[in-house]
Each structure stands twice: as C-alpha cells, then as structure tokens.
Amino acid sequence: MKNGDIAVKKKVKVQRRESRGGAAKEAQIPHADYRKEACLESFVCAHCGKKIQPEGAGSKHRNHCPHCLYSLHVDETAGDRKAVCHGEMEPIAIVAREDGDWSILHRCKRCGKLNLNRALADDNPILLMQLAVRPLAHPPFPMRYLESFLENRNEEKEDEV
C-alpha cells in the first residue's frame, strides 16, 4: 500500500458517518495530504470500472480516469481529501490555458461542484477532442440562424461599398 491508502479509506468512512449524523473524531485519523506529496495510488474508476495506475500520466497527481475522463469528488481544495460528497465528477468541457495546456472541467453529478483538472499525457485523445468540439457541434442557437446572420452581414457590407 502506498501514500496512506488505509488512512484515506478510514477517513472516508468517518466522513460518511458524520454526514449521516453520526459522531466521529476525524482529527484523530491521520491521512495523506496530497497538496504536499505525490499521489501514487492506483484506483478503480467509479464510472467505467477500469483499474487505473498512476504511471504514464505525466503527473504526480492522477485525479481522473484516462479512459472515460471521469473523476471522483474527494477534494474541497486540490489534494486535501476533505470532501464528504464522493459523487462522480462528469467531464463537461475543455479549458485551454494560457500556456497551451488543456484542463478538463468536471461537474459533480451529486452536488454540482465544478472543478478543473489538468489533462494528462495518457488521457483518451478521442474523448478530449469530443469535449473540445462539443460547443461547435451543438451551438446554443439553430444553425439556420447562422446562415441568416451571414447573409445579413454580407448585405450590409455590400451596402457600405
């Protein structure tokens, strides 16, 4: 076992008991702080069921499945493992950062919290591209509006000349 596997599992049980109204002393249970140390744990994806290894990610913090891109709501702030929700985090969009890297925007299916996770080297490139082009494939207006808009714009330009 690596990086406090048991401690994290115990902490999750304590948090779930507390969220159901039970009493527990969370402070007495030590847990790994992934804000300060690498998270090298393997895990089984809660969405697709595949076993995920941290190797090959290109990061010391594997926080989502490279196959389906789903994550799990375990952090309130990155690496703290203090979330009590533990809902599935659905990948909903791609965010292009200033440095050219991509981040995956996740939304918790249980509580709605939004979170950004850096896209990693071994992530499914097809799913990343599907997320990136989703706004173009499904615009927030009917496509016939775009055609009408372009026709009106061309007419305005002809009137100016």
In a domain, 7, yes or no: no
Q: Distance between CA 32 and CA 62 in Å, rounded?
A: 15
Q: Which residue has the higher pLDDT, 102 or 26?
A: 102
Q: What is the pTM of this model?
A: 0.67
Please give the backbone phi and psi of residue 155, each rounded to the nearest 5 degrees, phi first.
-65, -40
Q: Is residue 15 part of a domain?
A: no
Mean pLDDT on 117-126? 93
- Domain, as residue range, for 111: 33-160
Number of domains, the chain: 1
Q: Is residue 119 part of a domain?
A: yes
Inside any domain, residue 1: no
Which pLDDT does position 4 carry in this prediction? 42
pLDDT digits (tens, 9 = 90+) for 47-87: 999 998 877 666 667 789 999 999 999 888 877 778 888 99
Q: Does residue 8 surpass a pLDDT of 50?
A: no
* 150 part of a folded domain: yes
Kindly state whether residue 8 falls inside one of the protein's structural domains: no
153 assigned to some structural domain: yes
pLDDT value of position 22: 54
Instruction: Report if residue 140 sits inside a domain.
Output: yes
Tell me how far apart the alpha carbons of residues 131 and 129 are, in angstroms, rounded to a whole number.
Answer: 5
